[in-house]
A and B are shown apart, each in its own frame.
Chain A
């Protein structure tokens, strides 16, 4: 870090005497990053009355006459466009919400993510979770990632395995033996990578990236080691390792079909270089130019600022369960960030899957697919690279869904404390940032949020916003930090009609609600664990047991749709040479309800949402009071569009491309 030497450059100085012979010490070369996470001042909520009362409620007396004068003018001019200006409503606890039933349902292991003091950034990022059907019995089983005591223990071995649970079909779980991995595991992605009709898994880690294929007995077997050819990138516990050899640190994964060949491809979000042998502690650099790692004046672990970001990777799926690194072709202009989350969705509606990558502390990426699996970042011009104030924020988690029911997919992005959870509406000219109009700044700025979902938990047809919360720094509990280490998870109803935006926080309905108690949540995955058609939430928590947030909102009419493409062994050559993956990944489902509102409810089959986690490859629809729908339209990745006629709610439908409904089950 020697930025003070004079060197080779000798720029002219305009303020000199006019001669071109001045020599000057060169400007500092930017070889460093700022020392620690910066966060803006968080803001809090203010309870006020309605629009008119709230407008003037706490304007100072000195301002009053002018404020009165301006208020009426601005009322017409700006209020409609300017967002809430009224307190966020808090709905009283209903009969139930997402009630944690983990222990009663047999899920009780405790995550290990280093030491409680969090000496390194690796220990703070915590676990993820995947929902996948093991054994083809139609229910969702669980896989959790896990870490070990600290870096020394990881080097020494044996490292951690994945933690697996089998669902008995009623949402009760039994612990299964792990697949036999050894490492510090982070992100998980499920999908049918070998096209045999069952779900497989890819596990990301600090020094690990492993494919696990499900066999006919429903057992996950370790298969391709994607780092096998890169000894430096892989960290094998129990094997001697020299200093200054940071392994690949993969965080979130997306299994999706980038080139529409029917085989799932893999995007690997990567974080930063962390030397496991001699990780930085307390400061970065050394000697006179060492920079202390601090936050709010307290000493904390180092990173991500000041540490070297790792470039993300792209692996082309070969359809047989194996992959080859195709990063150079797929990501030709990729700039390394500190990727923490990734989601695949068709942002432009052109039929292929694009990607959104949430980067920690630098600009996020919106990678547009050219249809052949080559990606270009358009986040800046689309308005989703930086915050509404033009800053790079600490993106932690990402979700998509059609919040405004205009047929395209909108984005939710979680951030660090001091930065709001952002909500972007997709539109014809990119995204509009709706964060402040919803009032999300004051609601979410004190929170550090990770996983996020846009889903219809209460079944009223509208999407809710869920965020899994918890700070990275235990020092957040020290005086005067403006936040806390453990934070309760949060759920909001979102109302968007015309220019109106409204947010309603759903209060915990009881002490066992996942919204009730402060915890350290990280990854989370969405899926119906007990067969009632309502999406439940599995939340992986750091240094703690996970939560099973069972959906206990008042019963509504619901519909669940699974999409199935052809098996790899039945490869169909369509005219466009495009195929649907066996697990239906990328299929878009539009559900038209009976009644006056003809706007369809839109879902897209994707497992990659949230943070380091993998949700069920199913579409969950809440139909509210409607007991029937009038049409289901499925746009398959192959290009085929199928329309299915009217039907009743209360069912789980399995649709097979070209064959309509192949399985029709009644929801419990």
Chain B
């Protein structure tokens, strides 16, 4: 595409975006979030299609260092020559003070990606011998500095920077790569245990990110389908990010209000937030649409039990252990929970019977409640 056509497309995209946004102001946080996701999914053209025009012409985003950095990254991924095209976008930009670090860090990243390692270090470090980068509160600052030292062949100098990056951003998309470098540095010191731990964590995170990418692409491809969003919500729950999980589930349940698994996962998110009553209600909604949802019933029963609602708890647990899925592994906790509940309400014989069944199914936990 020639530059005139490209400019026309960009202005068109901007107009379309502004028209769709009227009369409300542009939600810049939302836009930047979308761009971040596009870049993570290797879809830089999505950022370009609206980003270039917005940062050039848009009032607000043109002074937003983070927005500029995201668009610059998309430009570097799509234009030739990459460095010059992206650098040009960042040149002579005055941005809001709060987003200046984003701009400076993107410049440093560009220097790093064009093998200008010394210049990248100058841009990143407060002082040459410093153990802290200029923007010490920013995880990328530590990542880029560590990477610059590693690329320079000085792994021992880069390792502390990468370690700090992992502390600040333990689940970042770049964390697996940083962990691998830390593992190799540990190996070079003969520290096999640290290396192994780093590799394990890196592989775990890599799997998570790979799955996230697949699910996110599926969700984009078929935005009205339930399964990809359920997958995304599960991944976020697994990562402990309840807010992200709830965002996916809210969208899912708006589209599919009768989706039992969606309600169950919302219950899980609420439980992780320790909002047990809300969780109980969500589990209840799941059971409304899928009465044999073992996990939802078990967890609702557990909440009843913790709240002292013994009868309600007993009803839920009995429904599982006397139900059609009693022999399934997912039902195992309900067998134990019911046995313990029976002890608590003074029915030791019944409790023993239930406990024997639990053991028969492969359970290994003691009947006695653990001390808390």
Contact = CB atoms under 8 A, between A and B. Distances in A.
Nearest to B297: A23
| Most A CB within 10 A of own CB, among B125, B152, B340 | B152
Given A70-B127, A73-B128, A390-B202, A291 B295 contact: no
A13 interface: yes
A55 B210 contact: no
Contact of B234 (A4, A8, A59, A60): A4
B114 A441 contact: yes
A288 B227 contact: yes
Contact of B221 (A16, A290, A433, A483): A290
Contacts of A55: 118-119, 122
B117 A83 contact: yes
B280 interface: no
Given A38-B42, A439-B115, A441-B115, A24 B274 contact: no
Interface in B296-329: 298-299, 302, 305-306, 328-329
Contacts of B253: none
Interface string A40-80: 11111110000000110011100100010011011101110
A138 interface: no
Contacts of B221: 290-292
| Most A CB within 10 A of own CB, among B104, B118, B210, B302 | B118
Contact of A390 (B176, B226, B328): B176
Chain A residues touching B, range: 35 or more
A42 B179 CA distance: 23
Contact of B80 (A67, A439, A482): A482
Nearest to A389: B177
Interface string B39-65: 000111110100000000000000000
B82 A15 contact: no
Interface string A165-184: 00000000000000000000
Contacts of A441: 113-115
B154 to A, nearest CB: 6
Contacts of B81: 44-45
Nearest to B230: A4
B115 A83 contact: yes
B358 to A, nearest CB: 11
| Most A CB within 10 A of own CB, among B46, B153, B179, B265 | B153
> Secondary structure at chain B's binding surface: helix, strand, loop or mixed?
helix
Contacts of B180: 386, 390-391
B105 interface: no
A7 B330 contact: yes
B123 A59 contact: yes
| Most B CB within 10 A of own CB, among A70, A81, A391 | A70
Interface stretch (A28-36, A117-125, A653-661): A28-36
Given A44-B83, A85-B115, A437-B152, A24 B295 contact: yes
A3 interface: yes
Nearest to B87: A58
Contacts of A60: 91, 107
B256 to A, nearest CB: 12
A432 B185 CA distance: 12
A89 to B, nearest CB: 14
Given A20-B365, A23-B330, A74-B118, A81 B1 contact: no
B161 to A, nearest CB: 13
Contact of B225 (A46, A288, A391): A288
A296 B44 contact: yes
Contact of B128 (A33, A78, A445): A78
A21 B222 CA distance: 36
A4 to B, nearest CB: 5
B217 interface: yes
Contacts of A84: 115
A30 B211 contact: yes
A433 B181 CA distance: 12
A496 to B, nearest CB: 12
A432 B46 CA distance: 37
A4 B298 contact: no
Contacts of B372: 18
A402 B187 CA distance: 25
B73 interface: yes
A643 interface: no
Contacts of B22: none
A556 B123 CA distance: 45
A480 interface: yes
A41 B82 contact: yes
B28 interface: no
Interface stretch (B13-21, B331-339, B345-353): B331-339
A21 B128 contact: no
B115 A480 contact: no
B111 to A, nearest CB: 9
A40 B40 CA distance: 10
A287 to B, nearest CB: 8
A469 to B, nearest CB: 14
B152 A436 contact: yes
A286 B48 CA distance: 30
| Most A CB within 10 A of own CB, among B46, B214, B340 | B214
16 contacts: A7-B330, A32-B210, A63-B122, A67-B122, A73-B128, A78-B128, A81-B152, A81-B154, A82-B152, A83-B117, A84-B115, A296-B42, A296-B78, A435-B151, A480-B78, A482-B78
Given A8-B330, A25-B268, A290-B221, 5 more contacts: A10-B330, A45-B81, A296-B44, A380-B183, A480-B45
Interface of A: 2-4, 6-10, 13, 15-25, 27-28, 30, 32-36, 38-46, 54-55, 58-60, 63, 67, 70-71, 73-75, 77-79, 81-85, 288-292, 294-297, 380-381, 383, 386-391, 418, 429, 432-437, 439-442, 445-446, 479-483
In order of increasing CB-CB distance, the 3 nearest A-B pairs are A44-B81, A390-B180, A390-B177
